[in-house]
Structure 1
């Protein structure tokens, strides 16, 4: 039986240098447990609050 293991806000494509997160296309990276983990990108925009509070898919600034 297909079950959702996790669902996280994720960008459709990584940002270009200097691009603001608000300009990105957002959706959900959904992980299913079907024997082996399977991933699916769902094009349904998370709320701004869900995007701000996400745990993964962060931009690391290099100095």
Structure 2
């Protein structure tokens, strides 16, 4: 049986250096347990609040 283990806001393509989060295409990285653990990217944009509160996939500012 297909079961969702976790679901996190994630970018479709990693940002370029200095690129702002607002310019990125966002979706959901869904982790399923289907015998073997499996990930799938779902192209449905999370809310701005969900993006800000995400635990992973952070953009670290580059020092100038």
What is the aligned partner in structure 1 of residue 2 from structure 2? 2
TM value normalised by structure 2: 0.92
Deviation at 1:33, TM superposition (A): 0.3
Unpaired runs of at least 5, structure 1? none
TM-score normalized with structure 1 length = 0.94
SS at match of 1:22: helix
Report the CA distance between 1:35 and its aligned residue.
1.3
Q: Aligned-residue CA RMSD in angstroms?
A: 1.0
**Cα distance between partner residues in 2 of 1:20 and 1:61:** 10
Moved >6 Å (runs of 4+): none
What is the aligned length? Answer: 63
